[in-house]
Amino acid sequence: MQGPKGAPRKLNIEIPENVADGVYANLVLIAHNQSEIVLDFARIMPNTPKTKIQSRIVMNPFNAKRLLRTLEDNINKFESQFGEIKLDEKGKSKEIGFSMEE
């Protein structure tokens, strides 16, 4: 972030206690319209045919694309430090989460 005349601006970010623990998700559903991209995060468990959305994030397309690039950069840094994240054959699809097949 830049302040007046290009000087860096300090951003003070606080995390409320009820948010600090985070929310675990192993499934994300993504939808969009012309002006928004919606990410619904859920947690599904084996042998459980039903789940609830744990968190919903609504972003404009500009910020969603910035998130995509930032996430890609962080994954590259992670893999540089810890090794490649290997996806199985199912990883070729866009599905994330448990298989609901019996």
Tokens found for residue 31: 């939808």
Tokens found for residue 75: 């994954």
Three-state secondary-structure class, residue 87 = coil
**Scanning the structure block, which residue is given the tokens 């996430």?**
71
Three-state secondary-structure class, residue 78 = helix
d(CA 58, CA 31): 10
pLDDT in tens, 61-77: 999 999 999 999 999 99
Per-residue DSSP letter, 2:
B
**Scanning the structure block, which residue is given the tokens 């042998």?**
47
> Global pTM?
0.73
pLDDT band at 7 (very low <50, low <70, confident <90, very high): confident
